[in-house]
Structure 1
Amino acid sequence: MTDPQNRLAARKPATVGLLLTLTLLGVFPIDVVLPSFPALSEHFQSPSSDIALSVSLFAVGIALSQLLIGPLSDVMGRKNLLLIGIAGSAVGATGCVLADSYWSFLFFRVVQALGCGCFVLSQALIQDLFTGQEQQRLRVLLVTCGGIFISVSPLAGTGLQSWMGWRGSFLVFIALAAGVFASACHLLECPPAGSQPRRFNIIASYRKVFGDFSFVAYWLTSALAFSCHFSFIVISPLVLIDQLHLSPEAFSLVLLGYGLAYIGGGLIATLLSNRIDPQTQIITGLSLILAAGLLMLGLANYLGLSITTLLAPMIVCTAGTTIARAAANNQAMTLFPAQAGTSASAGSVLIFIVGGLTSAVISLTPLDLQLALALCLILLSLLGLALNALVRQRDRGLLLG
């Protein structure tokens, strides 16, 4: 092994830790602050709707930031852009802690969101630093841990709110960001000084990746699978707290149990990645989501609403989501390895749009929420299976042609 190869091999465990922390920081600022809504509302003397607006603007800020960060990272490299983003997110979080009015809090929350857009580069870093089966295994790991992080964040937020007040989540974010900044400085390398510079043309970059049918189909498949999980997270307080009358602590524990189910899904996805091809993995994952929707529909019809009839199908769904998303992400990211940043940003924005629209439709539907969620799982899985069939048919046509 050459010295650079030796250095890369020695750094791999630490690099995986860096990727996991980037994944955590990508979801931490949204979900962990939810239990602090009443405290934020009281502190800033603003209605809860204003605090909810800060979450919506945060999500929009991340999406807009990612649109620019991905293509820009393909030109100037990942390291410097990641460090700028981490520093910006920490500055925004610090401003939130020190804010003395709602509007200053809102401003710094947007600043934090713009910085957090850099965390999308975790997918591009996998493409840059790893090869072959390592990429697939790492994407399974990130999908698994991302689901766990989203599920346990409300419980962490409840604990931080009790211990440190509403500022607790921002202070922990600042500490994590500082650690990631130092780790990225040490582990990542800047592009070689003699490397050929590339022109920055964001329109051309996105036109190239979105012009490929397979690329769009794979990322849409990932978005559809993620929407099943995200929709459950969004409506879970409405079902578990409002309808089943769980306490906030019991609600957090239920989500913790659901999040732990992602570990099982990740193990299954890892086993399948070594035994069947990616498109078959996608079909397997989407079929499990379809089965979860049908199971939820049957249980709701015969047994009514309960923690069991809601959670048992969703545990099946988590396995399907993990399997389908990891395989679809990997397939999409391998199509344009030279534009890994653009590819990651394009996929993340699609996931954000589809997940947001789906969860909004379910939240606003006049149907019973459990019924609406069951129908959502069925519909989204069927759409994903149809997309995958079109990709397979197109690939066969290209081979025959």
Structure 2
Amino acid sequence: MISETGLRQPKLITLILLTAISVLSLNMFLPALAQMASSFEVSYAVISVAVGGYMVVSSALQLIIGPLSDMYGRRPVILAGMAIFTVASVGCYFASNVWLFLALRMLQGAVISGMVLSRAVVRDIAPPQEAARLLGMIGTAMALAPLMGPVLGGFLGETFGWRANFIAYAIMGALMFALSWHDLAETNLTPSDSFTAQFRSYPELFKSKVFWAYCLCLIGSVGGFYAFLGGAALVGEGLFGLTPSQLGIGIGSISAGFMLGNFLTGRLSGRIPMLRLMLWGRLSATFGPLVIICIMALGAMNFWVMFAGAIFVGLGNGLTLPAANAGVMSVNPRLAGSASGLSGAITILGGAGATALTGALAGGPLGAYVLLGLMAASSGLGLLAVLWIAQLERV
């Protein structure tokens, strides 16, 4: 298919799966973390590096992936990322000690190229309003990945052991390499001259208030999601005594809301201004958890009520993130890949901080309140950022 910009457009399913595999690499094995700690005979804090360390590595890689794709093209960088992820996944399956496992787990971070560059491909082939619509459609379908990922991971862990998750990753990576090779034509037809020139473009983005406003919106939005990931297992197991399979279903609740939000974005983009969708999303994600806190304080203290708060955050993110991602890449379309990588790196670093903070604070009998409070606080930061964007765009 030829897009409005005259480029051969990859199939929508390819872009969906490139994003989905990046999400699955983070959350599918989460229900098996305790099992992994027991297998390697290490503490939960050590094995949690598989999450926190992976996020830091993914963040750093995005700083490189964006400029590399602006220089060499989207296709070769995506193919390299899928190949590295596949080999590293096989290594994780066979790892004999925790340190080898963690080293190979960090290499799995190369899969983040799928998420970063699928967004850049959309920006290559579509103008901003159409890009927001496409990103919303991609988000609707790919939200099934984080919804089903923990459920699948919990089942694999209970049935075949935690290592089954990583052989599943290897199979997914190999299939995505083959699909990308077949379907993903190059969409960056104006490559930059040099890698260092791309890094010199970062100050240009740093000087843009609009870029920073969108980044803060992304940090606040994604921070609520990562706060949930960092605390859901701790609260679910410690406070409510959930099994890995039950926990997998609970973790998937935020993705159910995200899928609904993305569906609404795909339907409403083009008819409702992007900024208004972002505002609606931030209001849902900020005040939804606060309402749930009040309900729990009145006596409805159970895990189903707590996970209902996560649905509001997921819904808000589904309304906000497609427009925010399209907006941050439209600050300077010539630097779409760099903007996607840089904003993604900043966002994941913020998410890593939210995960660490939740893990440190959400233990104990008040853990559910702390978890929802941190999710609301992070989402509130995103709400303030949307108001800042509105002010800047009126100038």
* Same fold (TM > 0.5): yes
Separation of aligned partners in 2, 1:106 and 1:264: 34
Separation of aligned partners in 1, 2:252 and 2:104: 30
Separation of aligned partners in 1, 2:255 and 2:191: 44
Change (3 A) 1:220 1:190: same
Residue of 182, 186, 189 corresponding to 1:186: 182
The Cα offsets for residues 92-137 of structure 1, whole Å up to 9 and x where unpaired, read as 1122223333333233222222454454211111111334544112
1:392 corresponds in structure 2 to 390
Is the contact between residue 32 and residue 154 of structure 2 (CA under 8 Å) also seen in structure 1?
yes
Residue of 76, 79, 97 corresponding to 1:80: 76
Separation of aligned partners in 2, 1:37 and 1:385: 33
Normalised to the residue count of structure 2, the TM-score between the two structures is 0.88
Normalised to the residue count of structure 1, the TM-score between the two structures is 0.87
Change (3 A) 1:95 1:225: same
Separation of aligned partners in 2, 1:192 and 1:255: 36
The CA deviation at 1:323 is 0.6
The CA deviation at 1:263 is 2.9
Report SS of the residue matched to 1:314.
Answer: helix
Residue of 232, 238, 241 corresponding to 2:234: 238
Query: Are 1:200 and 2:183 counterparts?
Result: no
2:57 corresponds in structure 1 to 61
Report SS of the residue matched to 1:303.
Answer: coil
The CA deviation at 1:331 is 1.3
Change (3 A) 1:289 1:176: same
Is the contact between residue 83 and residue 177 of structure 2 (CA under 8 Å) also seen in structure 1?
yes
Is the contact between residue 151 and residue 233 of structure 1 (CA under 8 Å) also seen in structure 2?
no
1:224-373 aligned within 5 A: 224-365=220-361, 368-373=366-371
Change (3 A) 1:384 1:55: closer
Is the contact between residue 310 and residue 370 of structure 1 (CA under 8 Å) also seen in structure 2?
yes
Residue of 14, 17, 23 corresponding to 1:21: 17
The CA deviation at 1:299 is 1.0
The Cα offsets for residues 28-73 of structure 1, whole Å up to 9 and x where unpaired, read as 2222222333543454444444322233322222122111111111
Is the contact between residue 82 and residue 119 of structure 1 (CA under 8 Å) also seen in structure 2?
no
Change (3 A) 1:180 1:313: same
Q: Which moved more, 1:319-328 or 1:369-378?
A: 369-378
The CA deviation at 1:277 is 0.7
Separation of aligned partners in 2, 1:363 and 1:109: 20
Change (3 A) 1:235 1:46: closer
How high is the sequence identity, in percent, across the aligned residues?
24
Is the contact between residue 292 and residue 309 of structure 2 (CA under 8 Å) also seen in structure 1?
yes
Separation of aligned partners in 2, 1:43 and 1:361: 26
Separation of aligned partners in 1, 2:74 and 2:158: 37
Report SS of the residue matched to 1:244.
Answer: coil
1:111-126 aligned within 5 A: 111-117=107-113, 119-126=115-122
Query: Are 1:376 and 2:377 counterparts?
Result: no
The Cα offsets for residues 364-397 of structure 1, whole Å up to 9 and x where unpaired, read as 2379233323433443343333322232223322
Separation of aligned partners in 1, 2:376 and 2:3: 46
Aligned residue type for 2:316 = G
Report SS of the residue matched to 2:353.
Answer: helix
Report SS of the residue matched to 1:25.
Answer: helix
The Cα offsets for residues 182-207 of structure 1, whole Å up to 9 and x where unpaired, read as 121122234799x6751222431211
Change (3 A) 1:216 1:144: farther
Change (3 A) 1:89 1:393: same
The CA deviation at 1:258 is 4.4
Is the contact between residue 132 and residue 269 of structure 2 (CA under 8 Å) also seen in structure 1?
yes
Gap regions ≥5 residues in structure 2? none
1:157-172 aligned within 5 A: 157-172=153-168
The Cα offsets for residues 282-338 of structure 1, whole Å up to 9 and x where unpaired, read as 111111223203312321222242234323333233221211122211111222222
Separation of aligned partners in 1, 2:103 and 2:380: 41
Query: Are 1:93 and 2:89 counterparts?
Result: yes
The count of aligned residue pairs is: 392
The Cα offsets for residues 162-188 of structure 1, whole Å up to 9 and x where unpaired, read as 343333222221211112111211222
Aligned residue type for 1:211 = K
The Cα offsets for residues 4-39 of structure 1, whole Å up to 9 and x where unpaired, read as 669x89x75x62111111112212222222233354
Larger Rg: 1
Separation of aligned partners in 1, 2:330 and 2:272: 17
Separation of aligned partners in 2, 1:273 and 1:100: 49
Q: CA RMSD in A?
A: 2.9
Report SS of the residue matched to 1:276.
Answer: coil
Aligned residue type for 1:274 = G
Separation of aligned partners in 1, 2:268 and 2:191: 40
